[in-house]
Amino acid sequence: MTIDDVFCQIGRICQSTRLLLEETGFLVYECMTDEVGHLPDESEDHFIREEAEWMMGKLMVVDREFRYLQRPTHGEYSLIQLPNKRYGYFAGNQTLREFSCGDCLEAKVCDQYGTHRWAETSIEHDGNRYYLVGFPNLPLEGLTIRERW
């Protein structure tokens, strides 16, 4: 089995998951609608619904992450600090991409074993400086990043 086979299987699971989330109303309301029939025992019904909704919440996260990973990556760029103190990069056609708080990106970071890997993160500002969520002490200048859309 390859990683492509794994993602193909996850894709099939996500198709079923999406259908379940839509049919129960969970995708819109983040809870099951009254369209989903109730059990005769009210106490059991509340218990089972809470458990099912907890699981569907987890399934929604898996579905969201799978859809994110299906988006193609666009380039690899080095972050630079711009004159306005924000960070960004120049794309191949010299178009400026400037990041604001909350913008998502992937950064090539070095893990505790010295291995470079991509990490999904976002850029934020603490009132003094910009940083990456999960990597507050990582210098941004020259950092290799990419985006998915």
Q: Rounded mean pLDDT of the chain?
A: 95
Q: Which two tokens stand for residue 80?
A: 């630079």
User: Quick one: pLDDT at residue 94?
Assistant: 85
Interval 42-64 mean pLDDT: 96
**pLDDT tens-digit profile of 13-43?**
999 999 999 999 999 999 999 889 999 999 9
Interval 118-124 mean pLDDT: 97
**pLDDT above 90 for 137:** yes
Q: Percent of the chain at pLDDT above 70?
A: 100
Which of these, 133, 71, 77, lies nearest to 101 by C-alpha position?
Answer: 133
User: Quick one: pLDDT at residue 83?
Assistant: 95
**pLDDT tens-digit profile of 79-113?**
999 999 999 999 878 899 999 999 999 999 998 89
Which pTM value belongs to this model? 0.83
User: Quick one: pLDDT at residue 48?
Assistant: 97
